[in-house]
Amino acid sequence: MYWRERRLRPGLYTDGSTVYEATYRYRDGRNGMHQLSSFQRFLASKGFSQKEKDAIKLRLKEDAPDVVLEG
């Protein structure tokens, strides 16, 4: 048996139009991105505080991408 590690930190990621959740299957060591909702629906949801939403919008404007997906 081989030890498999996550390559993506758990959490939410976005490309500005869709929100994804990082997933990992330990049985075969596969990373993935599970689509949760559109970015506009995410901003309208009450499941996250306004402070968290503002921080995400600021990161979209100023930071480099955390993850680059290849098709």
CA distance linking residue 71 with residue 60, whole number of Å: 21
Q: pLDDT tens across 4-23, in order?
A: 666 778 888 888 888 888 88
* Predicted structure pTM score: 0.69
pLDDT tens figures, 38-58: 989 989 999 888 988 888 888
Give the span between the Cα atoms of 42 and 27, in whole angstroms.
Answer: 30
